[in-house]
Structure 1
Amino acid sequence: MEMPDMPVNVPIDDPNADTEWNDILRKHGVIPEKPPSPTAFIEEALDEARRLAHENRLEHKDLDELAELEDEEEDAFLEQYRQKRFQELSAINSASVYNQVYHLQKPDYSKDVTEASHKAYIVVLLTSSQGTNAESAILIEIWRQLAQRFGDVKFCQMRADLCIEGYPEKNTPTVLVYRDGDIRKQLVTLRELRGTHTNAADIERLLVDIGAIRQDDQRLPRKAAETDIRQGNIRGGKTNAGDDDDSDWD
């Protein structure tokens, strides 16, 4: 005589324990499979981080630093990075056609900004209309510094009321970033940054975030660039107010 199907109470002491009895229960679907241990994933991530760190150990060194490593690295490997640095520097020099702050006139705004943005990133600073705005004064100086260093980005400046009639003084300074005919970023005053403590490094980070400057650009302060890349790798799931000298992106 067949026995009717009836639920059976299976004794389970610890469903996560590695026992022969639990293996039988898992095989028959009585208890679920154990979740994989995170230890293996952590070890794998650490191994990958070590591998990437070794492979990229020369990634952010300039030509002088590469020359100092001639006795430590293989010639072919070192030459590969030398050529890469030369190519990067050549591309930067070829694209560096601005290298100054351009003072805009309203009749030429479309040509000098909107149309020009099809060739490069255009960063427009609309300053205080009254000339008494502390944040505007800070950005005017930062614009001068960055325009000289990043000649492939066009830094422009204009009084807000001459650009937009009746533009509220409380909204100055305003930063507009153009690319391919569109505004890609708008910053109204420095409240999104660090107010009157904003420095060149804060604007550099902004330009990196929107893609106007590459994250590994050699013109960025070394410590700042390396820190940002490490943080970017972590955020991406990979384990791999001050003076201008104070350029760490804290």
Structure 2
Amino acid sequence: MQDPNEDTEWNDILRKKGILPPKEVPKEDEEEELALQQQSVVKTYEDMTLDELDENEDEFGEEDEAAIEMYRQKRLAEWKASQIKNVFGEVGEISGQDYVTEVNKAGDRIWVVLHLYKQGIPLCSLINQHLTTLARKFPQTKFLKSISTTCIPNYPDHNLPTIFVYFEGEMKAQFIGPLVFGGMNLKVEELEWRLSESGAVKSDLEENPKKQIEDKLMSSIRSSLPSRKDSDSDSDD
């Protein structure tokens, strides 16, 4: 009698018609096929970020939960390691030679705040003080400073202070000249607000501190002005 598991054209026809049962797969082949499937699933997990694992969680079966959790923990550990690695906490000094490495190639998801300054300009000194405070408050942001002409040859002094904001090597905001900063009355909270609007820092300020000062100033001016009733009384006299 012909072996039903034999690879013949006739047996294939009989299997298709349901006369013969499906060909038995040797145990070794089953294990190999299972291993290949597992490798495929593992590869799928490896290619996913934490967010993608969460988004696609419903598409995986119960048997995949252990593998998903394993790779989730792996991704989480990698993220924590990158967070620890990308802690700065101070204002670094750079030259033009460092510009590409420190600014344009700062790294993935790294915000860079670069202050171009010159010695002897009071507002530049004030901003450097404020940036030192903000660098400690926002250690995930890379704060840098550079003497303007060292970083950019022939950079005009009337453009100072200048702050450039970069994210992943692309410029996202620029603040150029003393008028932009409001002069020596600039508070550290106002600079923090400006940088938070550009995305460079995640501030806990709920509104622009400069607006609060302006509101108080206007309120003070209004209270010092004579009322309409007082004006009418003076005119009657």
Q: Which AA in structure 1 matches 2:155?
A: Y
State the partner residue of 2:125: 137
Q: Residues of 1 paired with 2:110 and 2:84: CA distance?
A: 13
Residue 118 of structure 1: how far off its partner (Å): 3.3
Residues 1:175 and 2:163 aligned together: yes
Residue 181 of structure 1: how far off its partner (Å): 1.5
How many aligned positions are there?
134
Which structure's relative contact order is higher, taking Cα pairs within 8 Å and 6+ residues apart? 1
Which of 185, 207, 210 is 2:195 aligned to?
Answer: 207
Distance verdict in 2 for CA 1:116–1:96, change over 3 Å:
closer
Residue 94 of structure 1: how far off its partner (Å): 4.4
Q: Which AA in structure 2 matches 1:136?
A: C
State the partner residue of 1:97: 87
Percent identity of equivalent pairs: 23
The structure having more radius of gyration, on CA atoms, is: 2
Secondary structure of the corresponding residue to residue 99 of structure 2: helix
Cα RMSD over matched residues? 2.8
Secondary structure of the corresponding residue to residue 106 of structure 2: helix
Secondary structure of the corresponding residue to residue 124 of structure 2: helix
State the partner residue of 1:162: 150
Distance verdict in 2 for CA 1:108–1:193, change over 3 Å:
closer
Q: Which AA in structure 2 matches 1:111?
A: T
Distance verdict in 2 for CA 1:143–1:125, change over 3 Å:
same
Higher mean displacement: 193-202 or 136-145: 193-202
1:202 and 1:249 in contact (8 A); partners too:
no
Secondary structure of the corresponding residue to residue 118 of structure 1: coil
Cα displacement string for residues 157-204 of structure 1 (whole angstroms, at most 9, x for unaligned residues): 000010111111111111000012111111112312321111211111
Q: Residues of 2 paired with 1:164 and 1:102: CA distance?
A: 17
Residues 1:118 and 2:115 aligned together: no
Scaled by the length of structure 1, the TM-score of the pair is 0.48
1:113 and 1:178 in contact (8 A); partners too:
yes
Residue 119 of structure 1: how far off its partner (Å): 3.1
Structure 2: tracts of 5 or more residues without a match: 1-79, 214-237
Report matched runs for 1:226-237 at 5 Å.
Answer: 226=206, 228=207
Residue 247 of structure 1: how far off its partner (Å): 9.1
1 or 2, which has the higher helix percentage? 2
2:113 and 2:143 in contact (8 A); partners too:
yes
Cα displacement string for residues 5-56 of structure 1 (whole angstroms, at most 9, x for unaligned residues): xxxxxxxxxxxxxxxxxxxxxxxxxxxxxxxxxxxxxxxxxxxxxxxxxxxx
Q: Residues of 2 paired with 1:104 and 1:151: CA distance?
A: 18
2:165 and 2:200 in contact (8 A); partners too:
no
